[in-house]
Amino acid sequence: MSKFNIPDDLELMRQRALLVLGDVKPATKETKADRNFLFEAKRTEAGRALPPYYLVYFLLHDLLNFRNLGKFEKISWSIPIDFKGKAFLIEHRKLGVGVFASNLETDEIDAQKIVRSIQKGIKVAKPYFEWLASQAVEDSKLSVRNNSSELFARYKYLISLYKTQQLEATKRKDEINKQTQKTSYGEATIIQFPTAEFRQNANWLATSAIEAFFSWTEHLFVHLSIITKSIGNGKQVANLVGAEWQVKYKNAINIDIPQNKIFFDELIFIRRQLRNFIAHGAFGKNGETFMFHSNIGAIPVIMPNQVGKNKFSLFVDLSFDEDEVILLLENFISHLWLSELKSAMHYVMDSSLPTILTLASDGAYARAMTSTEDMESFIKHLCYQFDQSANMDW
């Protein structure tokens, strides 16, 4: 396919798409249809293979100017088409997009041909869809999907497993298991300390929980920034998404507030000393990647700094206490819910709504941040709108 420069080549794109659609044309007064066709058309089996509803709509309505009959009960949009002189409907209903026909017994084969034609049209129109997406980012007409509660649930799950293993290690600290086995060299006694296994499991789970915490906060901070800083620019949000954790923290949380700064310093230390080493494949939580050969044996060569002159050291200064780190994370989470961000936290963590850049731009989030009551009212209003749209209750 030749390169297209949308919108300069928009008309050429239309001609290409119309060509591959073939007999799929806009319905006209001459198109044959039963009297009550709009109300009695039935979903064909073939229509279930249509591409996503938005691509179908953008192709037929936005690019090719097929007429949209509008919204009806449980119908988001309805586009009547002509296929070899006979009427069909392409509609997005509550149960999904589909091809709808008068007679399922006689029209199914034609519906299959319509679907194949639309699939081809969408492939041809790919540059148009890419241009639409870039325009949406340029105009900041975007919503940012909110996965904060799911990511936080993962963190809480790992924390619960960690605490269970810690508790078992404490309960069974005095337990010793001995087992005697006969070997070719005689009897051998194997001694096991269950508490050691539980503590090792707890250590692994703590490491996973800490990583899950930073994954959650990386996501959370972007949403908090949109709400609290009224970031309504799509490119600005995209840059923030790709930024380092510490940049996201400072965007979302005011470190001029002493307690926020204390948490930042402690958390960034944990991130740099622990998580980065694990994420980059370090061997051991203390970063003992190399062993220094000496006259008194192998000595750990610690890597506290990844760049700079003094990259290596013989000092073990990367050790951490799992309980202390987990306590720090828990205290930080409690602090967020009690801080100046509590209204924003309520929106991001409790509603599962996306953050909507147009609401940041027009000051809607800023107004809702005035009090917890205002935010709750705002959330209820948005949830109602989302539910109405999902149910197609117009």
For residues 133 and 147, state if they share a domain: no
Among the ranges given (134-143, 200-209, 241-250, 304-313), the one the predictor scored with the smallest mean pLDDT:
304-313
Average pLDDT over residues 373-378: 95
121 found inside a domain: yes
SS3 at position 28: coil
- pLDDT tens per residue across span 21-56: 999 999 999 999 988 998 999 999 999 999 999 999
For residues 158 and 250, state if they share a domain: yes
The set of long-range contacts for 37-40, using a CB threshold of 8 Å and a minimum separation of 24, is 37/87, 37/89, 37/102, 38/69, 38/78, 38/80, 38/89, 40/102
- pLDDT tens per residue across span 152-165: 999 999 999 999 99
- pLDDT tens per residue across span 275-332: 656 655 554 444 445 566 677 676 655 544 444 443 333 334 445 678 888 999 999 9
Instruction: Quickly state the pLDDT bin for 3 (edges 50, 70, 90).
Output: low
Average pLDDT over residues 351-362: 92
The DSSP H or E segment spanning 390 is: helix 372-391
For residues 147 and 19, state if they share a domain: no
Instruction: Name the residue range of residue 224's domain.
Output: 143-174+189-254+341-391
Average pLDDT over residues 217-240: 92
For residues 34 and 130, state if they share a domain: yes
Q: Which of 111, 138, 165 is the last residue of a domain?
A: 138
| DSSP assignments along 295-333, one per residue | TTEEEEEB---SSSS---BS-------HHHHHHHHHHHH
* Percentage of residues of the chain with pLDDT beyond 70: 86
4 found inside a domain: no
Burial state string for 7-20 with b = 16 or more CB within 10 A and e = fewer than 16: eebeeebeebbeeb
pLDDT at 214: 94
Decide which of 354 and 305 is more confident: 354
d(CA 136, CA 126): 15
179 found inside a domain: no
User: What is the chain's mean pLDDT, rounded?
Assistant: 86
For residues 212 and 63, state if they share a domain: no
d(CA 214, CA 246): 10
Decide which of 34 and 69 is more confident: 69
For residues 115 and 170, state if they share a domain: no
For residues 126 and 162, state if they share a domain: no
Q: How far is CA 224 from CA 174, 254, 344, in A?
A: 47, 11, 6
For residues 157 and 32, state if they share a domain: no
312 found inside a domain: no
For residues 62 and 166, state if they share a domain: no
For residues 118 and 160, state if they share a domain: no
Average pLDDT over residues 259-269: 94
Nearest Cα to Cα of residue 340 among 263, 213, 252: 252
pLDDT at 298: 66
For residue 371, is pLDDT > 70? Answer: yes
For residues 74 and 116, state if they share a domain: yes
- pLDDT tens per residue across span 76-127: 999 999 999 999 999 999 889 999 999 998 999 999 999 999 999 999 999 9
> By the 8 A CB rule, do 53 and 92 touch?
yes
For residues 90 and 209, state if they share a domain: no
pLDDT at 276: 57
330 found inside a domain: no
Instruction: Quickly state the pLDDT bin for 390 (edges 50, 70, 90).
Output: confident
273 found inside a domain: no
d(CA 168, CA 165): 5
208 found inside a domain: yes
3-state secondary structure 241-305: HCCCHHHHHHHHCCCCCHHHHHHHHHHHHHHHHHHHHHHCCCCCCCCCCEEEEECCEEEEEECCC
Q: Which residues pair with 97 in a beta bridge?
A: 92
Average pLDDT over residues 128-150: 88
* Percentage of residues of the chain with pLDDT beyond 90: 60
132 found inside a domain: yes
- Number of domains the chain is built from: 2
